Chain A
Amino acid sequence: MFILLGMPVVQIIIFGFALTNEVKNSKIAILDPSKDAATTSLIAQMEASRYFEVDQVIHSAEEIEPIFKKGKIKLAVIFPANFNEDLQHFNKAQVQLIADASDPNVANTLTNYATAVIMDYQNRITSDRKLPYTINTEMRMLYNPELKGAYNFVPGVMAMVLLLVCTMMTAITIVREKEMGTMEIMLVSPMKPFRIVIAKAVPYLLLSSVNIASILLLSVFVLDVPINGSLVLLVFESLLFTLVSLALGLLISSKAESQQTAMFISLVALFLPTVMLSGFMFPVENMPLPLRTVSNIVPAKWYYSIVKSVMIKGIGLHAVWKETLILMGMLVFFLGLAIKNFKIRLA
């Protein structure tokens, strides 16, 4: 009943409001050594549009790289030292736009918006002063100069595959044993429940390791997606995420009584949120606050952001320790809950 009546409502809300590819209030950084009338008014216009929000003003070109690595900034607008002078004397000036292209769609949209704002300004001053001013925008796509979609979907696919293999398959096999009654026999045997759980999880851990390896090999050698960061860190984080998924699978299996239920819970409670709320398909930043809050409990969101940072941006543990800690916390929480639920005495 709930599914019949609730599903359409939820879907309409999610698809209608939350899942837009439109980019709003993206955080940008400004480097404006010139600080003249023209740059000030351009910045004001950018901020006035609902697309941008100036998050920080930086003072040197060296700061650009680090703030992108922190991941807060999606776009940097760099003015030259004498923007207005150039514009007045030569009727020509340069602006550089640097976008974080680890998400190519967002990068593309943002640079288009920014260019539009700049063009708009250019046209206005041109018509005001009857002089042919031109502002050239030079774009730089950081991390993904060719704007390849693979840079975006490889981390997403990794999150999805691991979740699917570990969570769903673990849940289904354990529930299957419950259905067949073999679980009961094992519980009356002297085997420790902990060992049963481990024995059920290990095969999927191995399978997932193979999956991680094959996805990485394919993306490097076939899709030309580089692994810019440390491979060891990437593998470590992937194993961590695998363990979280396994714990989730165990948790589901301790609740579900039939394979269908297990499958349904895995799909609805994990797979859909992973696709929609991890940031892989739709930028999480633009979702309404309730959905953004919900997205925080989706493990894949954190893993996705880690993989992007490590693999595409090539940054180390110092930048992803927060996400790593969150995943570890989730692992402990879900595993604890699963073991508590997986009672040796069933009633």
Chain B
Amino acid sequence: MSTDKVITAEQLTKRFGDFTAVDAISFDVYKGEIFGFLGANGAGKTTAMRMLSGLSMPTSGKASVAGFDVYKENEKIKQNIGYMSQKFSLYEDLTVKENIRFYAGIYGKSDQFIKEKTALVLEQLHLTAEGNKLVKSLPLGWKQKLAFSVAIFHEPQIVFLDEPTGGVDPVTRREFWNMIYLAAEAGITVFVTTHYMDEAEYCNRVSIMVDGRIDALDTPEQLKRTYGVTSMDDVFLKLARKAVRSAD
């Protein structure tokens, strides 16, 4: 794994009125890494991710994504990231191909590029036969994989995945993680939030957020050793028990 930092955050903070959603977090993410961002509901994961992806303006602190400052250069950041939300966010009334064309189009990709890559992606997904079917006719697991392919279609440096495996069965989750590995191998940095602890084991490094702060950040093996437990589940429980903020 390389030591090029693609995301850096220093004392990054977001306050909504009196409420500090994200409390001075600092971390680095390296190129090609799968970086797990864990935390209970309401711990501040999504808010942190939104600040990094340019959807939300930080209250204070510093951060850069793909070498660009989140305050001033968020337009440049946008060119270099992909984003997949927990809703999968595809147009149900459009076909698989139309969805791909639309999302690639908003990133300004050429028709030629879109055409060639669509064929490739559909083949990888084993969806070639379904290319002209409406997205709403696909099973949830396929939609999820399609949404991920769409998020990295424009070949971003970093892809942000916000709880990408919600509501999907274990087999499909496994397949989905294979796709994530492939993407990481291709050099795309993966920043993923999740609350499935077995998924945390798949990450290169994991940070655990409690009450808006990052309480632990290390490889899954090192974390288990530090806390003297055998699974990430137990690591998480040890940390999360300290939380005073209740999930909303």
Contacts and interface: CB of A to CB of B under 8 A. Distances in A.
B165 interface: no
A27 B181 CA distance: 80
Contacts of A191: 106
A189 B88 CA distance: 15
Contacts of A86: none
Contacts, number: 55
Interface residues of B, number: 28
Interface size class of A (residues with CB under 8 A): 10 to 19
Contacts of A182: 89-91
Contacts of B174: none
B16 interface: yes
A190 B57 contact: no
B83 interface: yes
Interface in A287-315: none
A347 B44 CA distance: 14
Contacts of A181: 85-89
B54 A188 contact: yes
A196 to B, nearest CB: 9
Contacts of B54: 188, 345
Interface in A186-210: 186-191
Contact of B55 (A180, A188, A190): A188
B19 to A, nearest CB: 12
B60 interface: no
Which among B47, B55, B57 has the greatest number of chain A C-beta atoms within 10 A? B55
Interface in B16-48: 16, 47
Interface stretch (B73-81, B123-131, B194-202, B240-248): B73-81
Interface in B70-118: 74-75, 78-79, 81, 83, 85-92, 103, 106-108
B56 interface: yes
Contact of B50 (A180, A190, A347): A347
A324 B61 CA distance: 49
A184 B90 contact: no
Given A188-B78, A191-B106, A180 B56 contact: no
A346 interface: yes
B107 A190 contact: yes
A190 B79 contact: yes
Contact of B103 (A185, A187, A345, A346): A185
Contacts of B92: 180
B107 A184 contact: no
Nearest to A192: B75
A181 B91 CA distance: 9
Contact of A347 (B55, B81, B85): B55
Nearest to A191: B106
B95 to A, nearest CB: 15
A95 to B, nearest CB: 66
B85 A185 contact: yes
A184 B56 contact: no
B107 A185 contact: no
Contacts of B88: 181
Nearest to B54: A188
B56 A347 contact: yes
A293 B47 CA distance: 44
A188 B82 CA distance: 8
Given A189-B78, A189-B107, A190-B106, A345 B89 contact: no
B121 to A, nearest CB: 17
B57 A345 contact: yes
B207 interface: no
Given A345-B56, A347-B16, A347-B57, A190 B89 contact: no
Given A180-B89, A185-B89, A185-B103, A190 B78 contact: yes
A346 B56 contact: yes
Contacts of B108: 190
B41 to A, nearest CB: 17
B53 interface: yes
A57 B79 CA distance: 71
A184 B55 contact: yes
A180 B54 CA distance: 20
Contact of A346 (B50, B86, B87, B89): B50
Give 3 closest A-B pairs by Cβ, nearest first. A181-B87, A181-B89, A347-B56
Given A184-B83, A188-B54, 12 more contacts: A180-B91, A181-B85, A181-B88, A182-B89, A184-B55, A185-B83, A185-B103, A190-B106, A345-B56, A346-B50, A347-B16, A347-B57
18 contacts: A181-B85, A181-B86, A182-B90, A184-B89, A185-B89, A185-B103, A187-B55, A188-B83, A189-B103, A189-B107, A190-B107, A190-B108, A191-B106, A345-B56, A345-B74, A346-B56, A347-B14, A347-B55
